[in-house]
Structure 1
Amino acid sequence: MEWKMAPSGMAEAAGKVIATLHAAGREAYFVGGCIRDELLGRPVHDMDLTTSALPEEVMAMFTRCVPTGLAHGTVTVLQDGYSFEVTTYRTESGYADHRRPEHVFFVSDVQEDLRRRDFTINAICCGLDGQLVDPFGGAADLKHRLIRCVGTAEERFDEDALRMLRCVRFASVLDFAIAKNTWRGLLRQRDKLAHIAVERLRAELERMIEGPHPARGLGLLARSGLLPRGKAPFPWTGSDMAAAAAMLAGIGELPGALLRWASCSMP
């Protein structure tokens, strides 16, 4: 694949990792956010890889690696000064806490792995030959500027309630619309946000407010009613967020993150 939005050294190093996996008779692809951002013409800052190789096989193939999440199939491979999360194809089940799966099963079909992911735009992978594997229409959704869940939205949000806030954050940062069925699923499952740790919510909010369209994100949050349903009380009402969104929208060139938060907090 010819990368235009990723540093050439990183892309070359990731290609070496994939080639090593291929040489051992295993499948391997670039996957997720790096493909999404490349197709959108946005800078690619990191690259995740997915493979048919089992974690212990990955560990045996590379001399420099870290077992960062063996139970979930993830090994961090260090190559030419870069680090890459290499994760075995997997399916998941039993999300008792609406955040992490209780059971992980390694599989041999990359499409089964893509099926477990949150949104279609993140469920795309690509080989060294540049051919996309895109069973859920993620590339088309990128063209249509649409956030849409893989499969049934209510199921995806029930599995991991943080995905609801990620949905709003992606719509805000990318300035995309949210598909009607995805939005309806979010509204039906929004009470599940109470299961998510406050620091996780804060991280999503910070990424949203630091993005290029924070007013859009705050407007979506006001309409969704998500934040009052979090684990800890959130001081802003829907009307507060709508007012903050209007204030941010009225500022010309948006200032840094701290000033954005301060602007939102002004009476």
Structure 2
Amino acid sequence: MPIPIAEMKLALTVSPTEQARKASREMQAAHDWVSIDQADMVVVMGGDGFMLQTLHQMLERGRIVPVYGLNLGTVGFLMNLWRSGNSIHHRLEQAQQFEVLPLSMVATTMDGQRIVYPAINEVSLLRETRQTAKIEVSVNGAVRIPELVCDGVLVATPAGSTAYNLSASGPILPLGCGMLALTPISPFRPRRWKGALLPDSSQINLRVLEPTKRPVSAVADQREVRDIRDILIEIDPLRRLCLMFDPGHSLDDRISAEQFIV
């Protein structure tokens, strides 16, 4: 049987910005907070970047519990509105939960180092120099594009499809669609390739061609690995995140609304 909100152990994490720290004084007095390692639920005060940072810390610790964000940043796509004087307990009781499946990036560098990072929004390959990148694109072991000449290429989840993916003219993906967006960044050849929609069960391998002459870096959300030889990207079904949103302001609603913004 679910634990009532009033009986839950809550953790509070606050962005170091002045705006977030100032607002957090009211929140500090509203509840007896515990550390993330002890919490049944986490309240995050800050912007989207700080929310992603907190979620990654939870993934690293293996402590995955529902997270409710309060926007004290700029865009706040992953957050709820901050309203002074509102009962946090009442808002948590009314909030709806949405499951988010992160990506796993396995990157191999030119010197043979193997690095594994999770990504909640997207994994990107980006050229390091003025030289365009040349990348071989394979899906489920089959080569789909032998040579993609571009500034880079990314794989986005539905939760991240309105971020860098949208800026690169990629499609917006509704939550629960079971798809990933594979989107080129400033493609030169093939000119007409605009990207692909793939089932989220897909394994995507991106191999760098001419990596010495045309070095490429890989970025999993905010973490970068330079001088890449190849990366493997797939959903990690064992690490499911849970984000909470006020009624009428869910992540699904926001993703849908983004498609009508002109």
Q: Normalised by the shorter chain, which TM-score bucket?
A: under 0.3
Structure with the larger strand share: 2
Bigger relative contact order (CA 8 A; separation at least 6)? 2
Structure with the larger helix share: 1
